[in-house]
């Protein structure tokens, strides 16, 4: 844990780095031979970040195995590979994001009567920023925002989650070995530390986590008028349009939904939360879910090293409570490790992938809060139109998944709902696409990532206008006293 007295010092040191970058073009140190926060400096730090993750991939995977019981394949696929790829891409694309050239920014073409003036828009670093990351995908959800801050030229304090202490401690050891400690620091701790951190003035706060804490952080940010990015969660629905799917497509749909649900044992912000489907397709869909799970985990999910665990005792008992209190019918799974299986630490907190059929879309405990669990409720609806009505009646989700081969239905889903993303015929895969922005709307948050979109969160557009003295003859009419001529339209 970072001592509270240290937090103000870190803030002061990052602030002096930022101020020094505005007034000096000297190389920052022998270790980083480029002017502080300059373009080549930022490119170098992005490459260093890629190196950090690549050279320590094993230790990072190991830390999440200890803290969360998370399978290595999931960490490599969803976190390690993506961070390395995006840090390298960021270093390559950075010049085009800022406008490129020796003078950063872009010239703007003006109206004919202003053509002698010079106007530019420059993407400028906001200043010293704060990144607060959660436990569920801590590698990518820490480093992806950090890539944006580095690219933008913002010094950053990173506050990883106390829920994953082995990972957070490793992060605090690795960051100063690879990145310039003058500009990038890690603070460890929980509520007392974050509370102290939030008393200080930051130029931007990038928070990934739940909506309850987002409100606490937003209130603290408001005291300093600090702008924010909020990457939150919610209940992301899956609409299965059985009438417009062939038998084989329904099977693939079930496999893709179950894959989205079993990843990290359902603890993903974009997990398919629940399924809306017409009753006549439910039996076929359930048997396809069963086939998918048997193919993923032939010896049972809870016996497989490829299946994750629940992060904490608190979440474990919350999820057991959901299984106890639902009025739905468990049709697949329902198994829970009870300590008699000899699995230890995080690996002892296992919940089997579970499918529950609800009688109606009326209230059930599974339809209240974001599940964040490997439980998939199936909710019968009369039609796709009824499914859209249900989605519209609830908070805007991070993502809507819809499985259909009908262009008309795709159009209805897009026109008839609001969400951060819409994905047709797959789950989770939107996160692998670098070119489209990811983020929420309403209760699922605001702001976007990755790459250029994250960079944009940490910069502001500064316009620069230069009006030549030689334009003075044009301005005669703007100075008082007024005349009839200047008052006439």
**Window 383-422: contact mask with ligand NAD (x via CB under 6 A):** ---------------x------------------------
State yes or no: residue 83 binds ligand NAD (CB under 6 A).
no
Choose the catalytic residue: 61, 147, 154, 269. 269
How is residue 464 written in tokens? 């620069």
Q: Which is nearer to ligand NAD, 269 or 384 (CB)?
A: 269
Closer CB to ligand NAD, residue 389 or residue 395? 395
**DSSP helix/strand/coil, 442:** helix
**Mask 419-448, x = binds ligand NAD (CB under 6 A)?**
---------------------x----x---
User: If binding is defined by CB under 6 A, does position 161 make contact with ligand NAD?
Assistant: yes
Residue 269 appears among annotated catalytic residues: yes
Assigned token pair, 184: 């990038």
Q: Which residue has the tokens 């008699």?
A: 340
Angle at 306 between CA 304 and CA 312, to 5 degrees: 90
Q: Residue 195 in contact with residue 132, Cβ under 8 Å?
A: no
Q: Does the footprint of ligand NAD cover residue 208 (CB under 6 A)?
A: yes
Q: How far is CA 131 from the centre of its chain?
A: 12
- Nearest residue (beta carbon) to ligand NAD: 233
Comparing CB distances to ligand NAD, the nearer of 338 and 435 is 435
Q: Does 159 bind ligand NAD (CB under 6 A)?
A: yes
Q: 442: Cβ–Cβ under 8 A, 6 or more apart, which residues? A: 395, 396, 418
Cα(263)–Cα(294) distance, integer angstroms: 15
329-332 and 354-357 beta bridge pairing: antiparallel
Q: Decide whether 191 or 359 has the Cβ nearer to ligand NAD.
A: 191
Give the Cα separation of 163 and 66 in Å (integer).
12
Out of 217, 238, 288, 310, name the contact with ligand NAD by CB under 6 A.
217
Q: Does 231 bind ligand NAD (CB under 6 A)?
A: yes
In angstroms, the CA 140 to CA 207 distance is 13
Instruction: Label residue 401 exposed, middle or buried (CB < 10 Å: 0-12, 13-18, 19+).
Output: buried
- Considering the complex, what minimum distance in angstroms separates the CB of residue 445 from ligand NAD? 6
Q: Phi, psi at residue 395, to the nearest 5°?
A: -60, 150
Q: Which stretch binds ligand NAD (CB under 6 A): 41-49, 135-143, 357-365, 408-416?
A: 135-143
- Provide the token pair at 386: 């009824």
147 catalytic? Reply is no
Residue closer to ligand NAD, measured from CB, 380 or 445: 445
Q: Confirm if 10 and 62 have CB atoms less than 8 A apart.
A: no
Of the candidate residues 15, 54, 210, 244, the single one contacting ligand NAD (CB under 6 A): 210
The CB-of-274 to ligand NAD minimum distance in angstroms stands at 14
Would you count residue 162 as binding ligand NAD (CB under 6 A)? yes
Nearer to ligand NAD by Cβ, of 211 and 242: the residue is: 211
Kindly state the tokens that stand for 249: 């497509």
Order the strands of the 106-107 sheet from edge to edge.
106-107, 118-125, 459-466
Binding of residue 167 to ligand NAD (CB under 6 A):
no
Stretch binding ligand NAD (CB under 6 A), from 2-10, 161-169, 343-351, 466-474: 161-169
Residue 213 interacts with ligand NAD (CB under 6 A)? yes
Is there binding between residue 370 and ligand NAD (CB under 6 A)?
A: yes
Residue 78 DSSP class: I
C-alpha angle 216/366/268, rounded to 5°?
55
Choice from 269, 288, 367, 459 touching ligand NAD (CB under 6 A) = 269
Produce one character per residue of 431-441: b if its CB has 16 or more CB atoms within 10 Å, e if not: beeeeebbbbb
Q: How far is the CB of 414 from ligand NAD (least distance, A)?
A: 21
Positions that interact with ligand NAD (CB under 6 A): 132-137, 141, 159, 161-163, 190-191, 194, 208-210, 213, 216-217, 231-233, 269, 370, 398, 440, 445
Active site residues: 231, 269
């Amino acid at each position: 844990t970072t001592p509270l007295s240290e937090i103000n010092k870190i803030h002061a040191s990052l602030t002096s780095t930022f101020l020094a970058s505005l007034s000096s073009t000297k190389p920052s140190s022998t270790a980083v031979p480029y002017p502080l926060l300059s373009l080549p400096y930022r490119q170098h730090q992005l490459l260093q970040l890629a190196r950090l993750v690549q050279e320590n991939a094993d230790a990072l995977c190991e830390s999440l195995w200890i803290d969360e019981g998370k399978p290595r394949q999931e960490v490599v696929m969803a976190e390690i590979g993506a961070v390395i790829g995006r840090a390298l891409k960021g270093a390559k694309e950075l010049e085009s994001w800022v406008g490129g050239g020796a003078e950063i920014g872009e010239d703007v073409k003006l109206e004919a009567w202003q053509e002698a003036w010079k106007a530019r828009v420059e993407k400028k670093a906001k200043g010293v920023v704060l990144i607060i990351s959660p436990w569920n995908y801590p590698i990518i959800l820490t480093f992806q925002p950090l890539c944006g801050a580095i690219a933008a030229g913002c010094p950053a304090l990173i506050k990883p989650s106390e829920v994953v202490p082995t990972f957070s401690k490793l992060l605090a050891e690795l960051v100063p070995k690879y990145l310039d400690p003058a500009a990038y620091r890690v603070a460890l701790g929980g509520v007392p530390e974050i509370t102290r951190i939030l008393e200080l003035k930051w130029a931007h706060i990038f928070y990934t986590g739940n909506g309850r804490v987002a409100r606490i952080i937003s209130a603290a940010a408001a005291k300093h008028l600090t702008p924010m990015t909020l990457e939150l969660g919610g209940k992301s629905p899956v609409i299965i349009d059985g009438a417009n799917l062939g038998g084989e497509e329904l099977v693939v749909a079930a496999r893709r939904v179950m894959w989205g649900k079993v990843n990290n044992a359902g603890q993903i912000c974009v997990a398919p939360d629940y399924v809306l489907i017409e009753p006549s397709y439910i039996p076929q869909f359930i048997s396809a879910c069963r086939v998918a799970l048997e193919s993923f985990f032939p010896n049972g999910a809870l016996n497989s090293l490829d299946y994750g665990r629940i992060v904490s005792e608190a979440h474990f008992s919350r999820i057991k409570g959901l299984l106890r209190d639902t009025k739905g019918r468990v049709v697949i799974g329902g198994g829970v490790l009870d300590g008699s299986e000899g699995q230890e630490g995080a690996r002892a907190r296992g919940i089997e992938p579970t499918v529950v059929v609800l009688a109606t879309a009326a209230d059930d405990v599974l339809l209240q809060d974001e599940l964040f669990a490997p439980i998939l409720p199936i909710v019968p609806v009369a039609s796709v139109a009824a499914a859209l009505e249900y989605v519209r009646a609830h908070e805007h989700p991070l993502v809507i998944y819809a499985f259909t081969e009908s262009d008309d239905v795709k159009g209805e889903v897009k026109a008839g709902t609001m969400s951060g993303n819409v994905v047709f015929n797959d789950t989770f895969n939107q996160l692998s696409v670098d070119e489209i922005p990811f983020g929420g709307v309403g209760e699922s948050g605001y702001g976007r990532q990755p790459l250029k979109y994250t960079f944009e969160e940490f910069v502001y557009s500064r316009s620069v206008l230069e009006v030549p003295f030689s334009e003075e003859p044009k301005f005669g009419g703007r100075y008082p006293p007024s005349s009839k001529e200047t008052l006439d339209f």
